Amino acid sequence: MKLLVTGGAGFIGSNFVLYMLKQHPEYQIVNIDALTYAGNLENLKSVEGNPNHTFVKADITDAKAMDQLIGQGVDVIVNFAAESHVDRSILEPDVFVRTNVLGTQVLLDAAKKHSVKKFVQVSTDEVYGTLGETGLFTEETPLAPNSPYSASKAGGDLLVRAYHETFGLSVNITRCSNNYGPYQFPEKLIPLMISKALANEALPVYGDGLNIRDWLYVEDHCSAIDLVIHQGQNGEVYNIGGNNERTNLHIVRTILEQLGKPESLIKHVQDRPGHDRRYGIDPTKTTQELGWKPRYSFETGIQETIRWYLDNKEWWTRIQSGAYQEYYAKQYGDRL
């Protein structure tokens, strides 16, 4: 099996590459990543020299490069490559449309031309919009994205659907809830709060901190995608989530408690515009049809994650220089 993974130097993509090389040591993986601010080859250090992993620096919006790479013969494409941070999409929406919509269409075109056996689009629960106090997102929930990020992901998803309906391309779309774990860029809630707490700096909680996210340890997301590749029914969408809804304040307090830091570090700051109140995934279809089951409870996963950030301080302090400082000042400058 030859897999082409896009965005495999990012958080979930690199975890996925490491997971697949371990689960299926005979598979060949071609890993394409443009190495934006979020891409980091350090994530892949442990597989350096593995003859079954080839890294190619390329942009998924580059039609010629994608045609050439996919034309070399690929069984399955798994598309992780994306601009992924909601706050950045509020500051700079254009690059989100370019990568998440146009990039997906460029990949779909090459997949169609070269008769790729399956295209797996890694999407997000955010395309469904926000929930009230009750109910969960199912695969039938209408798309109602609220941020430029989620709108661009929904655009990509709709193109995947269209290439299936119009051109008969074999596809699956996965929609997962919030991931956490090793190699997550410290702009996202959990690693950001760990790094701030360790530095004894203010932890910026948006609004009242009672927004709810449904958290899944990244390895459990990877195992679900593995099953979708092998058993996903053509044309189907699969929701992925582990029934782990938590308020942001709960997350932040757990981190502070585990690090032995005071709650006085919490600072409520101006809310995110268009901030979705609650996400919650109904994973029944994925658990029943594919036999998927998450391995990590939230309590175990968060402990593992905090341990990883404590053990890998160099990884994230290197990232937090230069361009990161500029972003942090732009995003939080007026709020803190």
Following DSSP, what letter does each residue of 306-318 receive, concatenated? HHHHHHTHHHHHH
> Per rule CB under 6 A, is residue 185 in the interface with ligand NAD?
yes
Q: Is-catalytic flag, 183?
A: no
Cβ proximity to ligand NAD, 125 vs 170, nearer residue: 125
d(CA 172, CA 227): 11
- Residue (188 or 253) nearer to ligand TDX, CB: 188
Q: Classify strands 212-217 and 245-247 as parallel, antiparallel or unpaired.
A: antiparallel
- Single out the residue of 247, 163, 161, 175 nearest to residue 209, CA to CA: 247
Edge-first strand order for the sheet with 171-176 is 53-57, 28-33, 2-6, 76-79, 118-124, 171-176, 237-240
The CA radius of gyration of the chain, in Å to the nearest whole number, is 19
Q: Say which entry of ligand NAD, ligand TDX, none residue 31 contacts (CB below 5 to 8 A, set by partner kind).
A: none
Residue placing its CB nearer to ligand NAD in the complex, 88 or 196: 88
Site for ligand TDX in 275-334 (CB under 6 A): none
Question: CB within 8 A of 304, min separation 6: which ones?
Answer: 181, 217, 296
> Which of the following is catalytic: 33, 83, 126, 157?
126
For residue 248, the partner it binds in ligand NAD, ligand TDX, none, with Cβ less than 5 to 8 A by kind, is: ligand TDX
Site string for ligand TDX, 231-250 (x = CB under 6 A): -----------------x--
Sheet order of strands, 245-247 included: 178-180, 212-217, 245-247
Active-site entry in 128, 149, 180, 238: 149
Which of 33, 59, 83, 125 does the annotation list as catalytic? 125
Instruction: Reply yes or no on whether 67 is catalytic.
Output: no
SS3 call for 80: coil
Q: Is 126 a catalytic residue?
A: yes
- Kindly state whether residue 85 participates in binding ligand TDX, applying the rule CB under 6 A: yes
Query: How far, in Å, CA of 119 to CA of 112, rounded?
Result: 9
Q: Which of 14, 15, 124, 286 binds ligand TDX (CB under 6 A)?
A: 124
Among 77-85, 241-249, 255-263, 285-293, which window interacts with ligand NAD (CB under 6 A)? Answer: 77-85
Nearest Cα neighbor of 277 from 154, 131, 144, 127 is 131
Nearest distance from C-beta of residue 113 to ligand TDX, angstroms: 29
Helix (H, G, I), strand (E, B) or coil at 222: helix
Which listed residue (3, 5, 12, 160) binds ligand NAD by CB under 6 A?
12
Which span (17-25, 53-61, 226-234, 290-298) binds ligand NAD, by CB under 6 A? 53-61
The residues pairing with 206 across neighbouring beta strands, listed in sequence order, are 269
Q: Which of 118, 127, 296, 155 is nearest to 222 (CA)?
A: 296
Is there binding between residue 172 and ligand TDX (CB under 6 A)? Answer: no
Binding positions for ligand NAD, 93-122, rule CB under 6 A: 99, 103, 122
Residues forming the site for ligand TDX (CB under 6 A): 84-86, 124, 126, 178, 188-189, 192, 204-206, 211, 213, 248, 272
For the annotated catalytic residues, the residue numbers are 125-126, 149
